[in-house]
Structure 1
């Protein structure tokens, strides 16, 4: 059922007893039956509840920070708020789509190209080069390229054991979610 121009519920928010919940979204009033849980939460449900609590705290901090809030508001669609976007961003870690080693030959100045994406913004991409014994040869920050998708890392240390090496990429987003992906040099 759809009710249009009903002065009784227009702009309403909150709850009526233990029966109904009113909320606003994109200028529309949403009315829903209030659910009441009687069973205890499972371990997985507790984990999701805690993660949601953390996401809400992050989103509130974004709303209180004019600079971060402006970042989220700049991409908000109609009906979305910076709080909504920050909440969603907290839930989703970046994805490392591709690590390209074509221009990395173990020499200083060789480059590694990383494609990393996020539902909002990849904040940093860190590259580590490990030798065959998993010892770190070098670590550094990749530079975001003009296309907004690819990150370029330039090697600063000579790698004499190239074939047994691993390139480890860590992509981070604004809420601090991290994704780590390794690629063996072949």
Structure 2
């Protein structure tokens, strides 16, 4: 690191020179130094969480821009549900930013026989596109899989079992909900 006092050539110059040196001033001194090396360390849990939020935000902005430019019908649907001063772009952004939520799973009528229903509530800030139900036997093999049907209420989805399951205890149920921007929420439970 080189230091000079009152060097008129480098005084008040700051910044990088190529990829080799940096110029800066401290008081009445001009300093020429090699560029600092970035530490290569693994990201902390907080930094990973912040990066995930940034990535999700960027994805939501790109989705809203894409809908505005390429899908006027969907943009009109977003326009129809906006509130107050909110724009259709904001509704599209929020739809992409927040995924669907699954709650109130009801398996009390499922006894392992074909025709038994399994019900779940799937909620989204705009609309849930699909809810898929997958059942796995206690040893991990897939028994059956299918799309749920949406009730008239708009938030309850029902799947009707198609295959006999003699061992209900220990059966794993995986429910996957998707919304319009393909955000996916997964709920797994052991019966």
TM-score between the two structures when normalised by the length of structure 1: 0.72
1:12-45 deviation line (CA, Å, top 9, x unaligned) = xxxxxxxxxxxxxxxxxxxxxxxxxxxxxx6554
Q: How does 1:34-113 map to 2 (within 5 A)?
A: 44-64=49-69, 65-113=71-119
**Structure 2: gaps spanning 5 or more residues:** 1-46
Distance 2:126 2:171 in 1: 32
Distance 1:46 1:107 in 2: 46
Please give the secondary structure, in 2, of the residue aligned with 1:72: helix
**Structure 1: gaps spanning 5 or more residues:** 1-41
Distance 2:129 2:175 in 1: 13
Deviation at 1:111?
0.5
Check conservation: 1:99, 1:183, Cα contact below 8 A.
Answer: no
Please give the secondary structure, in 2, of the residue aligned with 1:146: coil
Which residue of structure 1 lines up, in the alignment, with residue 128 of structure 2? 122
Distance 2:182 2:115 in 1: 29
Aligned residues: 145
Check conservation: 1:142, 1:153, Cα contact below 8 A.
Answer: yes
Check conservation: 1:113, 1:150, Cα contact below 8 A.
Answer: yes
TM-score between the two structures when normalised by the length of structure 2: 0.71
Higher gyration radius (CA): 2
